[in-house]
Amino acid sequence: MEPEPDLIKMRDEIFRKIGRNLLNFQKIEFMLKHLITYGRISGYMSELKENQERRAATVHKQTMGNLVGQFIDNTLLGLDDSSRLITEPKEPYLSFSFTVSADADFYERKKQGLKSLVDDRNDMIHHLLPRFNSDSIESCLEIGKYLDEQRERLIPEYDHLQSLIKSLNINIEFLKSEEGIKQVSSQLELSFLQNSPLVLLLLNISIQQPRSDGWTLLSNAGQQIRHILPEELVRLKSGYRCKNIKELLKASELFDINEEPTDKGGVRVLYRPKPELGYGAFNRVLNSLLVTSRRTARADGWSLLNTAGQEIEQFLAEDLALVKEKWGYVSLKEFIMESGLFDVVEEQVDKNNICELFRPKAEFVPH
């Protein structure tokens, strides 16, 4: 017996809706792969192409569930740690990331929406056809309603990913443009300069040996440079493209520069790290911790972290706030641990309480 025309029409409509939803799921999967692959670019300039090809090959093999997890971590939370910290770059190093800044409510909505999307996709692929009776009008109506509701759930996520793709592609196209290449090259040169041996030594001298007003004599710094890094001074023009150390200070964009008259009618050049960058604040907090640890240490060498925290909050609250802002530290304890200069332990005070202790690492203690 031939099926009724209405049933044939409804059955064909079901298959059309299945194809429609499946195509949308495939588009979403493609967009996730694109965002994960090109939302993070990092490496030495000579390695970038190989790095991206390797990343694309890895992402291409991921399941929908894994893609959603990576997207949530990398794009919504920015947790991807594939960009390594470069302390002594051998050549220009580029790091680009595309992330979404949003509040906790937005993050939770997207997280749940995308995970529901994975469940919907898996249900349609693996469980829909076994429960679909193609000879039943009632089943056609039920499955048709299910597929329409599924489409309504995926459209907001589809539109959101599509908008992110558009934004990412705009950024990528800019980076490829003449103006983008010019800006990237300028930033790479500045980063390379700021991490160069000469600039780091100038920074260290200004932090460790300032006058009481916070300024450092450039002539004194120059004498130390000639003693410590004479080979870098020889490269000042060829390697740094600067005529003198003062020009290097300006080019690095890390320092304030000032001049003051001398008793003999001349001028002396002074410099200091720009206060808003937080280098001076970082050093003052660090020195305070070292002083407190020496002054309050118990017989076993440990000091109460709470005591150090109270003193810093009393005398260096603004410095600590600036350090947290510029370096992203959540607490004084995190700052201490990340500095690499101290050991930190917990000690049981009583059944319900513990205290945190710190001390300078053995290699930094004078003998």
User: Is the Cα dihedral 171, 176, 182, 186 positive or negative?
Assistant: positive
Q: Which of 187, 216, 241 is the last residue in one of the domains?
A: 187
Q: Are residues 206 and 246 in the same domain?
A: yes
Q: Which of 272, 285, 277 is nearest to 327 (CA)?
A: 277
Statement to judge: residues 64 and 132 lie in one domain: yes
Per DSSP, the three-state class of 2 is: coil
Q: Could you tell me if 121 and 227 lie in one domain?
A: no
CATH of the domain at 317: 3.30.420.610
Does residue 248 share a domain with residue 137? no
pLDDT tens, position by position, for the chain (367 residues)? 456 778 889 999 999 999 999 999 999 999 999 888 888 888 777 787 888 888 888 888 888 889 988 888 888 775 555 444 454 556 667 777 888 887 888 888 888 989 999 999 999 988 988 889 988 999 999 999 999 999 999 999 999 999 999 998 888 888 778 888 788 778 878 878 888 899 999 999 998 889 999 999 999 999 999 999 999 999 998 888 899 999 999 999 999 999 999 998 899 999 999 998 888 889 889 999 999 999 999 999 999 999 999 999 999 999 999 999 888 888 999 999 988 889 999 999 888 899 999 999 886 655 5
Q: Which residues lie below 8 Å from residue 346, measured CB to CB, with a gap of 6+?
A: 354, 355, 356, 357
State how far the Cα of 168 lies from the Cα of 37, in Å rounded to an integer: 11
pLDDT of residue 83: 46
Tell me the whole-structure pTM to 2 decimals: 0.56
Does residue 346 share a domain with residue 252?
no
What is the rounded CA–CA span in Å between residue 283 and residue 312?
12
Q: What is the pLDDT of residue 364?
A: 61
Pair 231, 353 in one domain: no
- Looking at residue 146, its pLDDT comes to 93
The answer on 350 and 262 residing in a single domain is: no
Tokens standing for 293?
């640890």
Residue 225 CB: number of other CB atoms within 10 A?
20
Our count of domains for the chain comes to 3
pLDDT value, residue 85 = 47
Same domain, 106 and 238: no
195 DSSP 8-state letter: T
Do 62 and 153 have their domain in common?
A: yes
The pLDDT of residue 213: 92
Q: Are 321 and 275 in contact (CB under 8 A)?
A: no
Backbone φ and ψ of 301, nearest 5°: 90, -5
pLDDT of residue 92: 67
Q: Which residues pair with 323 in a beta bridge?
A: none
- Residue-wise pLDDT tens digits, 154-175: 999 999 999 999 998 888 888 7
- DSSP H or E stretch at residue 110: helix 104-126
Is there a contact between 154 and 117 (Cβ–Cβ < 8 Å)? yes
φ/ψ (deg, to 5) at 137: -65, -40
pLDDT of residue 90: 60
Identify the three-state secondary structure at position 364: helix
Q: Which of 152, 170, 187 is the C-terminal boundary of a domain?
A: 187
Identify whether residues 142 and 220 lie together within a single domain: no
The pLDDT assigned to 180 comes to 80
Which of residues 187, 210, 245 is at a domain's end? 187
Q: Are residues 216 and 284 in the same domain?
A: no
Domain ranges, residue 126 = 5-187
Q: Are residues 315 and 181 in the same domain?
A: no
CA distances from 101 to 77, 78, 107, 174 (A): 8, 9, 9, 21
- In whole angstroms, give the CA distance from residue 254 to residue 194: 8
